[in-house]
Amino acid sequence: KADVSELEWPPGSGERVVVKDFKNRPRWFRILAARPMLRREARALRALKDVEGVPKLVAYPDADCIVQQKMPGIQLQEIDRHDVDEETVVRLDALVAEIHERGVTHGDLHHENILVQDGQVALIDWATAAMFPQKNRGLRGWLFEEFQALDLRAVAKVKLFYVRRLSQEDYDLLENGSRAYRSVKKLRHALDRIRGKKRTDRVNKLLDIMKSKRANDEPAGLVSREHTSEETVPENEHIR
């Protein structure tokens, strides 16, 4: 993890920036991990500089440090699911679609990296971002599709846990994921079996509830909050 701090910049402006600094980390880690992450983050922020909901790159003073705009909002994990309306999720969906249109994927859209304020949405922590040229063929094209699917599955999980309304594409992403996701999931399950660890799949548990409601002729893709008990709904901290 980087040392993260906030400060007012320029002084007296009232504007806040976030400084992410790896200088105090071991040299081998800075070279092998931190610097590539910062390069990816800087490239992504430059490519998305005019996209509302993405922080502006303020400075990239050296290989171990980056300075970016402080985005307003509260982390999604800090918000009760009943306080997130469908319009907020629609805006999240639109924001992710826009960054994909620019040939950029986020790669880590869990609830700590999604900020919400007055219905507006912002995405932070772009260290795992990837960029692709507009014409993607071969391996690059396949990777772009896979990385987009990871982002879209993360958005579908937000829809599932917060507003209970899913499209058929959302169902497919949550049940199957991308090809790379399925491979990683199989490996994880194999390792869990070796270690004797049991993992609760909260996504599939809630999906089963929604399917049951759909089978009973409720509006497609919708389970009302009243029909879903507290015991069956994962707490916000598990939405990853």
Pairing between β-strand 104-105 and β-strand 57-62 as defined by DSSP bridges: unpaired
With bands split at pLDDT 50, 70 and 90, how would you rate the model's confidence at 201? low
pLDDT at residue 239, as a whole number: 45
- Higher local confidence (pLDDT), 216 or 152: 152
Question: What beta strand segments (E) does 175-219 contain?
Answer: none
Residue 162 in tokens: 């917060």
Q: Please give the pLDDT value at position 199.
A: 58
Strand residue runs (E) in 70-129: 74-75, 104-105, 114-117, 120-123
pLDDT higher than 50, residue 223: no
Banded pLDDT at 83 (limits 50, 70, 90) = confident
For residue 52, pLDDT over 80 is answered with: yes
| pLDDT tens digits, one per residue of 146-182 | 999 999 999 998 998 888 788 888 888 887 777 777 7
d(C-alpha 190, C-alpha 73), whole Å: 39
Least confident of 84-98, 154-168, 194-208: 194-208
pLDDT band at 236 (very low <50, low <70, confident <90, very high): very low
CA distances from 76 to 35, 69, 179, 203 (A): 28, 19, 27, 17
At 197, is the pLDDT very low, low, confident or very high (cuts 50, 70, 90)?
low
Burial of residue 52, with CB atoms counted within 10 A of its CB: 0-12 exposed, 13-18 middle, 19 or more buried:
exposed
Cβ atoms within 10 Å, residue 103: 15
Mean pLDDT value across residues 77-95? 90
